[in-house]
Amino acid sequence: VSSFPAESKILDPFCGSGTIVYEAKRAGLAEAWGTDLNPLAQWLTEAKLQCPDDLTEAINELARVLKENPVAPSVRDERLLFYFHEQTLREIESVSQVFSGLSPYLKGCFAGALALAARGCNGYMWTSSTVGKNLEDKIYVPFFEKFSAKVKKHHFPVSSNGLYEFAQHDARSLSRLFGEKHFDIVFTSPPYFDALDYTAYYAKILYLLLGIDSGEVRPTLIQKTSTYEEDMRQVLEELVKVTSDQGKIIFVVGDKKTKSGVINGGEFFSELLHHRPDKVFERSYTGSSSQIFDEINKTSRREQIVVWDKSKW
């Protein structure tokens, strides 16, 4: 992101936790937007973009929230005992009942602390991205300590004069929101095309805690193998509309394993648009948060960077 011209307007249509938009702000680009339909994406992205300049402000807010919302004598939703120690859950619920009133930064830290507490209550046998075996006898994890640690650990404020925003919007209709030729660069990692459920794992726990019906969120997301190709074709056509005549569309994609073999992500996306990509790069890497799966599969992870350059069309 730091290599893009400072006057660039950049879009990440599947922004997830908002890393691209945050890095655009950090690099001082003129404008950056992240869009996504997943509520969790909004909380995480806005937490990064609206991190307070003064850490004391966030610490004082947390102290006030904990003081004004004492721990209940019993849990409100016993279904969540499947994931947490009872005392940990009571502490979590004392905060979740006022979640809507938290600042954007504290909302993001709460989501992170929730995932960390769930891992701890189950002996850290889960990875950072997947839920593993549930311990029958849960381990008590002091949630308030985890929450406070997250608030301090993730405090990386960035000051910039540009425009950096999140919009909860469908990537299949971006031109309705932004009009035509608004962006110079699209930079994104699209949803995995192996039907990964983006409302599962830690998101499922958070939605259950906050009373959000994941069954209503799930159908709005692009995660069905039967419609994936057509959905992504629509997305690419919209991205062509919202980028300038000199714009670039950059996708970071991966391989898909099937019963009959491996589908190369770069090749798959190269066929979706009437203009073929101008460049496709590939790299292999290990040592990521998914290294446990690299070891199990005895393979290195591969990804392709697919670039459409409209200035060459």
125: confidence class by pLDDT, cuts 50, 70, 90: confident
At 248 the pLDDT is 98
Calculate mean pLDDT across residues 262-268. Answer: 89
20: confidence class by pLDDT, cuts 50, 70, 90: very high
For the cut 80, the answer to whether the pLDDT of residue 295 exceeds it is no
pTM: 0.92
Mean pLDDT of the chain: 93
Nearest to 58 by CA among 96, 93, 105, 92: 105
At 299 the pLDDT is 56
Q: What does residue 144 show for φ and ψ, rounded to 5 degrees?
A: -60, -35
In angstroms, rounded to a whole number, what is the distance separating the alpha carbons of residues 266 and 14? 17
**Each residue's pLDDT tens digit, 56-111:** 999 999 999 999 999 999 999 999 999 999 999 999 999 999 999 999 999 999 99
Q: Which residues contact 58 (CB under 8 A, 6 or more apart)?
A: 52, 103, 105, 106, 109, 151, 155
Q: For the chain, count helices (H), then strands (E).
A: 12, 9
For the cut 80, the answer to whether the pLDDT of residue 290 exceeds it is no
For the cut 80, the answer to whether the pLDDT of residue 297 exceeds it is no
Q: Which helix (H) or strand (E) holds 31?
A: strand 31-36
**Each residue's pLDDT tens digit, 199-243:** 999 999 999 999 999 999 999 999 888 999 999 999 999 999 999
Q: What percent of the chain has pLDDT above 90?
A: 82
